Structure 1
Amino acid sequence: MIRADLTTAPRPLLLADGRPAAAAWSLDPAVRHLNHGSFGAVPLEAQRVQQELRREMESNPVAWFPHLPQRVAEARSAVAGFLRVAPQDLAFVPNASGGASVVFGSLPARPGGEIVVTDHGYGAVTWGAERLARRWGGTVRTAHVPLDADAEEAYEAVTALMGERTGLVVVDHITSPTARRMPVERIGEEARRREIPFLVDGAHVPGLIEGPLRGLECDFWIGNIHKFGCAPRGSSVLVARSEQRDQLYPLIDSWGAEEPFPSRFDSQGTLDATGYLATPAALGFIERTWGWPTARTYMRELADYAQRIVGEAFAELTGCPPPVDVGMPVDALRLVRLPDGLGGTRLEADALRERASRELGVAAAFTSFGGTGYLRLSTHVYNTPADYEFFAEHCVPAIGEWARTTSPEGRS
């Protein structure tokens, strides 16, 4: 039986009235929610704000939409303050991939140009880069960055592929499949020196890193507020701080098309923008209740604890080494290696996620990198040590059994 180690397990966060933090969310208590990093979770306070906004919208749509751009502009100004960027540099987009699509669709043609990405990139963004390269009649060059690469090694791997034909560099700030940071600050300096446009995919960053663009040289930066920022889903941002932003247009041409960046993004036809408008409420709830520094510290300490006890449970059961050497680890995200034969491809990892939900009652993330499967642990303020103790005690044995009994042909 897994027991809490009071010397390393952080004390769970509580609401002001003494209730568990989870009481501020509407998450199903019958499920262990261990994968905040994929789709986030919206606190009830922000849900109520969005519901009231939707009620207002539906009560008089003709009055709602003409004034919507001004309200969107006010909301993005608040989000810009949270990210420590200028409001005139930030536009709302539906998600980080949508922000990347804006960049890919707006860059001028570069016949025969090359795009540099890494093998840690998010699939949808990498596919978008490949599609852009095909339109250019060029190619995508993929930098291999070992999982345990430190900042210097990762920097060298990416910059070694930059050349005269490079028309764009795309690097994750925090990687999705491997839960590590990339040295985007140094890469950005080199890209700027070479005058190569640089797109940073910061999908997981808002809420995890304070002032994430401080000291970062990049032409474009995208981030999901609906992940660790707990905003309603579909609330993301595109930050553009160089002259390149004048080329950016939203995915939907609407009546703001002739406005400058970012105002042209504030008007998107009849798009439901209530998620954008409710985003400040979500960010403010965390700030008022615990403060973002306290929330980040708790998420980091809980992730450390979760990785240790789950990793040790797997090691005891299967002999897999418990620690995974990640070169630049991230607060709130950790990797634990799965038993051999499980999750070695993206499709196999996705199948494990579905099976764990169906058979074990847990919402967990499974990823793959270099043919190896991993459990990606993800924490937030509503999680407790007991969540991960449950996983170690009840789920690890079941996953170990899956590894022993599943044939390659029937691998889940």
Structure 2
Amino acid sequence: MNTAALQGTAPSPLTLPDGRPARDAWSLDPGVAHLNHGSFGAVPTRVLRRQADLRAQMEGSPVRWFVGLPARTAAARGRIAPHLGVDVDDLALVPNASGGASVVFASLPVGPGCEVVVTDHGYGAVTMGAHRLARRWGGTVRTAHVPLAAGPQEACAAVLAEATDRTALIVVDHVTSPTARFLPVDLIGAAARERGIPLLVDGAHVPALLAQPLAGVDCDVWVGNLHKFGCAPRGTGVLVARGPLRSELNPLIDSWGADKPFPARFDEQGTLDLTSWLAAPDALDEIERTFGWDTVRDHSTRLAEHATRTVAAAFAQQTGEDHSVEVGMPVGPIRLVRLPGTLGLGPGGGNAVRDRALAELGVECAVTAFGGQGYLRLSAHAYNTPADYDDFAERCVPALTAWARETS
């Protein structure tokens, strides 16, 4: 495939201050093409060393460590809050966004026969938690069907159409995992507040992806992962709570801080290894110091645009079909390309294709499905370059097309 014409629109690769490739700041396996930052992120090497230093302190003097851990955790929150544009007193740390959602499901005061509204774009684990909440109270889950191409007003209307006088909670994604689109959480939040319905926003992908992720968002609880776009160590999530519901929220572990107010009660989690939480602000600061977050966001958006055009064109050359995807509210660094045939819909779903691509092609990629169609979900970060996606187009797209023919 001739990609020369497409490469003119691609951004130049980012470099470190000493001129080395940006990827040298990470310890990623050079034998693997890492095109799926959106799933588990990647932690800069210097931050991993910082976390290792913290673990050494913990193991060197466990009593001193755990006695002082709540104060350390509170200090970490104080450094994280400015990166999200929120007040530190509204911010608690949790293991991940799903863990934050579980806090809400376990703490929310609801009654028998309650209804929970979710969307058909929701993250599977969080949606499962919503079903568990409803079952516990003899209630039901109502699923809003939002077209992939729906704009803000249509998407908001689809969600609100499922709300009734029995709705105890609305759960929506800020950025959807399977479909890489924004949902209009600002519009939904305003309408939910007017109706007196609590709103949980699952912002798993959003911290650092947006400079001010909660700007204009009126919700009771917002959860997100710092270990995705934010490059923090895994196991670092945030829970932002405002309004009356915050007094009801309790950590998943009842520990010695249980009687403290929100969010201090979340700072004590028994003997858990919280070094990921303590190193998280170092990750946010490291990216800012090395590249600048605005630079990374711009680079990743333009690179994802290049990746989408390049890979979709490569598939089109193989199949003679259009593999571009109309997404109503697209996400800058995370984009979709339509897969050929029924690829991603067979046994094991997209994960089976993902695992085969890693084993046979040496590439980490995300494969999702929505509405009976499989998609390649491409994501980009500072360490990615146009060559990563050009290589995928030339080397991997023919293989994926052949796999699709095997299943047809």
TM-score (ref. length: structure 2): 0.98
Shift of 1:319: 2.4
**In the alignment, what sits opposite 1:205?**
206
**In the alignment, what sits opposite 2:167?**
166
Structure 2 letter corresponding to 1:177:
P
Task: Return closer, same or farther for 1:143/1:399 CA change in 2, 3 Å cut-off.
Answer: same
Deviations 1:191-228 (A, max 9, x none): 00011000000000001111111111100000000000
Q: Is the 8 A contact 1:346 1:368 kept in 2?
A: no
1:133 equivalent in alignment to 2:134: yes
How far apart, CA to CA, are the structure 2 residues paired with 1:257 and 1:227?
Answer: 29
Task: Within 5 Å, give how 1:1-400 maps onto structure 2.
Answer: 1-4=1-4, 5-344=6-345, 347-400=348-401
Shift of 1:338: 0.4
**In the alignment, what sits opposite 1:410?**
none
Deviations 1:368-399 (A, max 9, x none): 00110000001000000000001000000001
Structure 2 letter corresponding to 1:286:
I
How far apart, CA to CA, are the structure 2 residues paired with 1:404 and 1:6?
Answer: 29
Shift of 1:77: 1.2
**In the alignment, what sits opposite 1:401?**
402
Task: Return closer, same or farther for 1:157/1:297 CA change in 2, 3 Å cut-off.
Answer: same
Gaps of 5+ in 1: 408-412
State the SS of the aligned residue for 2:348: helix
Q: Is the 8 A contact 2:189 2:199 kept in 1?
A: yes
Structure 2 letter corresponding to 1:9:
A
Shift of 1:346: 8.6
Q: Is the 8 A contact 1:35 1:379 kept in 2?
A: yes
Q: Is the 8 A contact 2:73 2:278 kept in 1?
A: yes
Structure 2 letter corresponding to 1:146:
P
Structure 2 letter corresponding to 1:70:
A
Structure 2 letter corresponding to 1:91:
A
How far apart, CA to CA, are the structure 2 residues paired with 1:160 and 1:220?
Answer: 21
Structure 1 letter corresponding to 2:293:
W
Same amino acid, percent of matched pairs: 63
How far apart, CA to CA, are the structure 1 residues paired with 2:320 and 2:151?
Answer: 26
Equivalent residues, number? 407
How far apart, CA to CA, are the structure 2 residues paired with 1:292 and 1:106?
Answer: 35
Q: Is the 8 A contact 1:320 1:337 kept in 2?
A: no
How far apart, CA to CA, are the structure 2 residues paired with 1:115 and 1:126?
Answer: 10
Structure 2 letter corresponding to 1:182:
L
Shift of 1:17: 0.5
Shift of 1:136: 1.5
Q: Is the 8 A contact 1:344 1:369 kept in 2?
A: no
Q: Is the 8 A contact 2:96 2:238 kept in 1?
A: yes
How far apart, CA to CA, are the structure 2 residues paired with 1:18 and 1:74?
Answer: 34
State the SS of the aligned residue for 1:91: strand
Structure 2 letter corresponding to 1:87:
V
Structure 2 letter corresponding to 1:12:
P
Q: Is the 8 A contact 2:341 2:405 kept in 1?
A: no
How far apart, CA to CA, are the structure 1 residues paired with 2:207 and 2:120?
Answer: 22
State the SS of the aligned residue for 1:121: coil
Q: Is the 8 A contact 2:107 2:249 kept in 1?
A: yes
Shift of 1:6: 4.0
Deviations 1:138-189 (A, max 9, x none): 1000000010111111011001111101000000000000000000000000
Shift of 1:12: 0.3
TM-score (ref. length: structure 1): 0.97
Q: Is the 8 A contact 2:230 2:283 kept in 1?
A: yes
Q: Is the 8 A contact 1:38 1:227 kept in 2?
A: yes
Shift of 1:347: 2.9
Structure 2 letter corresponding to 1:389:
D
Structure 2 letter corresponding to 1:187:
I
State the SS of the aligned residue for 2:272: coil
Shift of 1:98: 0.3
Structure 1 letter corresponding to 2:337:
V
